[in-house]
């Protein structure tokens, strides 16, 4: 099967539209949760936890799916990827999503997306075996799809570069090869994601299967500490990988718009290598309360968490400023969203660094401060990159134009997410615990404020999606016109 630009674009557009639509649907559940916490909406605690489960699972899954589409789009221009596997991943993703939805809404499964052992099996009858199995199997199927995808990207990178180490530029760092022959930023980022996500998904598959056996036969038990380690090795790394896939759009789009190459030099390669190692190791910051963990692991988790994303963030933010400086860049929706995403990434990391400080963590731990950090970083950082790419692809591939609504969407989204993230941070500062269905009256105001901000974000995303769907319809029509002419 030859990969033509046309078939690449249709497949990638399918990934982005599915991802975008699921993110929009999940925003609605987010708004409903905030309204319930704020006392505006009467929602049973059971329903709240089902919403929390679908929101966490759906957001991370859909953003990862769309980000994989971005990575595949650019990587497939440099190495030979399998179209079949890209399609297979989409099919497995959809099957998994349907199973998870049925498990949560028809069978009341509500363990949150962390499915922490032994909760799937022991729920005090909040849900039964069927719900747990649908959810766990759905996640497993979805994970296998992603695993196959990364095995394919790994294979293709090794074929082109010789090894994954060379994909990360080890031969350039060690001086064996000149900087000008370094792998492209797209290859470097894809190699990093391939390495960390194959690790994450393998850990995830193991712990999912162990949970499945435990649900079917409760006599089979295993070490809860091991289960927690595997679960967060999966969850932390996989969620982190979203921004490392999406950032490829920053490199490619800014370099195209400024007509300046974004070269991988030595500092760039070293930064990506550091973040590869840190991303693999620091899930241990989820274990800081588990005093039975080996102390050295907890210290490592603590220390490296400070440094986790910083190397890549700094090298990318600095690079973005340098490439745009005096370049005469034309600002449009794509470059605007990409630039906002750099801002969102930086703003989202600051509260995380504050929280990683032990004295602060003792107060902020498990408060809404934590969702405050990751909503900024995910919604304004990673997701803005995805949406920027959607506008880029539409512009590249059709004659579609943006209008005043789109501009409103850009400003509206930025303000909405800053307000939403801010409301979570304020809640955290008030010591509001995270993951609580019901709030004391003192805690309600920020939740209600967040719900309004969330609604504005959902409106903005609806505008982006309408634009993208119009593009997809336009290119279908173009294809038909071409057929007519050639017939
Ligand atoms: C309109 C936008 C959004 C709204 C209103 C919203 C709302 C919420 C709320 C209310 C919670 C529960 C907070 C608590 O612990 O009490 C939550 C959790 C979460 N959200 Fe969002 N969210 C939005 C966008 C996003 C996006 C874009 C992502 C990721 C791409 C995301 C990922 C998550 C995750 C992973 C959790 C944690 C779930 C858990 O604790 O198990 N959210 N969100
Ligand atoms: Cu983490």
Decide if 463 is inside a domain.
yes
Q: From ligand 1's centre to the CA of 64, what distance in Å? A: 15
Q: Please write the tens of the pLDDT for every residue from 210-256.
A: 999 999 999 999 999 999 999 999 999 999 999 999 999 999 999 99
Decide if 135 is inside a domain.
no
Decide if 343 is inside a domain.
yes
Domain count, the chain: 1
Q: Please write the tens of the pLDDT for every residue from 12-67.
A: 999 999 999 999 999 999 999 999 999 999 999 999 999 999 999 999 999 999 99
Decide if 1 is inside a domain.
no
* Banded pLDDT at 365 (limits 50, 70, 90): confident
Q: From ligand 1's centre to the CA of 406, what distance in Å? A: 24
Q: Please write the tens of the pLDDT for every residue from 149-174.
A: 999 999 999 999 999 999 999 999 99
Decide if 188 is inside a domain.
no
Residues forming beta bridges with residue 433, ordered by sequence position: 367
Decide if 105 is inside a domain.
no
Ligand 1: residue whose CA is nearest its atom 21: 30
Query: Minimum-distance ligand to the CA of 309?
Result: 2
Pair 96, 68: CB distance under 8 Å: no
Does 30 contact ligand 1 (Cβ within 6 A)? yes
Does the pLDDT of residue 323 top 60, yes or no? Answer: yes
Range of the domain at 380: 330-482
When pLDDT is averaged across residues 417-423 and rounded to a whole number, the result is: 98
The structure's pTM equals: 0.96
Q: Please write the tens of the pLDDT for every residue from 85-142.
A: 999 999 999 999 999 999 999 999 999 999 999 999 999 999 999 999 999 999 999 9
Does 435 contact ligand 1 (Cβ within 6 A)? yes
Ligand 1 atom nearest the C-alpha of 63 is 30
pLDDT computed for residue 1 by the predictor: 56
Decide if 452 is inside a domain.
yes
Q: From ligand 1's centre to the CA of 164, what distance in Å? A: 34
Q: Which SS3 state, helix, strand or coil, does residue 185 take?
A: helix
Q: From ligand 1's centre to the CA of 191, what distance in Å? A: 29
pLDDT computed for residue 290 by the predictor: 86
Ligand 1 atom nearest the C-alpha of 458 is 1
CA 417/CA 201 separation, integer angstroms: 29
pLDDT computed for residue 487 by the predictor: 60
Could you write out the DSSP letters of every residue in 384-404?
HHHHHHHHHHHHHHS-----H
Pair 17, 387: CB distance under 8 Å: no
Q: Please write the tens of the pLDDT for every residue from 287-310.
A: 878 888 888 888 887 777 777 778
CA 274/CA 163 separation, integer angstroms: 18
CA distances from 33 to 102, 292, 385 (A): 19, 34, 26
Does the pLDDT of residue 421 top 70, yes or no? Answer: yes
pLDDT computed for residue 352 by the predictor: 80
Ligand 1: residue whose CA is nearest its atom 36: 56
Decide if 291 is inside a domain.
no
């Amino acid at each position: 099967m030859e990969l033509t630009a046309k078939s690449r674009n249709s497949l990638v557009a399918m990934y982005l539209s599915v991802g975008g639509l699921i993110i929009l649907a999940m925003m609605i559940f987010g708004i409903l949760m905030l309204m319930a916490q704020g006392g505006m909406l009467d929602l049973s605690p059971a329903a709240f936890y089902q919403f929390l489960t679908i929101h966490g699972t759906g957001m991370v899954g859909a953003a990862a799916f769309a980000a994989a589409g971005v990575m595949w789009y650019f990587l497939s221009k440099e190495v030979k990827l399998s179209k079949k596997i890209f399609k297979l991943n989409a099919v497995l993703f959809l099957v998994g999503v349907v199973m998870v939805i049925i498990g949560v809404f028809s069978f009341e499964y509500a363990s949150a997306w962390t499915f922490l052992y032994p909760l799937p099996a022991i729920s005090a009858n909040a849900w039964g075996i069927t719900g747990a199995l649908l959810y766990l199997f759905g996640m497993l199927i979805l994970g296998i799809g992603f695993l196959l995808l990364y095995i394919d990207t790994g294979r293709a990178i090794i074929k082109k570069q010789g090894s994954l180490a060379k994909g990360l530029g080890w031969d350039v760092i060690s001086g064996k090869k000149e900087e000008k022959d370094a792998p492209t930023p797209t290859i470097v980022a894809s190699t990093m994601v391939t390495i960390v996500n194959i690790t994450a998904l393998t850990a995830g598959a193991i712990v999912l299967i162990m949970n499945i056996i435990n649900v079917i036969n409760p006599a089979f038990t295993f070490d809860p500490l091991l289960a927690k380690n595997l679960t967060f090795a999966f969850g932390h790394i996989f969620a982190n990988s979203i921004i490392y896939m999406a950032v490829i759009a920053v490199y490619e789009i800014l370099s195209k718009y400024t007509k300046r190459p974004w070269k991988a030099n030595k500092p760039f390669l070293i930064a990506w290598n550091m973040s590869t190692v840190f991303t693999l190791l620091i899930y241990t910051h989820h274990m800081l309360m588990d005093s039975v963990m080996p102390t050295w692991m907890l210290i490592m988790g603590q220390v490296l968490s400070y440094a986790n994303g910083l190397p890549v963030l700094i090298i990318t933010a600095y690079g973005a400023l340098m490439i745009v400086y005096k370049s005469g860049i034309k600002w449009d929706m794509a470059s605007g969203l990409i630039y906002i995403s750099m801002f969102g990434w930086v703003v989202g990391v600051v509260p995380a660094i504050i929280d990683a400080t032990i004295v602060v963590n003792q107060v902020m731990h498990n408060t809404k401060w934590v969702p405050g950090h990751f909503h900024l970083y995910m919604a304004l950082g990673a997701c803005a990159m995805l949406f920027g790419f959607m506008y880029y692809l539409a512009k590249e591939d059709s004659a579609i134009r943006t209008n005043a609504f789109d501009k409103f969407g850009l400003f509206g989204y930025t303000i909405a997410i800053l307000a939403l993230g801010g409301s979570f941070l304020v809640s955290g500062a008030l010591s509001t615990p995270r993951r609580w269905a019901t709030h004391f009256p003192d805690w309600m105001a920020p939740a209600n404020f967040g719900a309004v901000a969330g609604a504005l974000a959902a409106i903005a995303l609806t505008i982006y999606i309408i634009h993208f769907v119009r593009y997809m319809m336009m290119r279908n029509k173009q294809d038909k016109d071409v057929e007519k002419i050639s017939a």
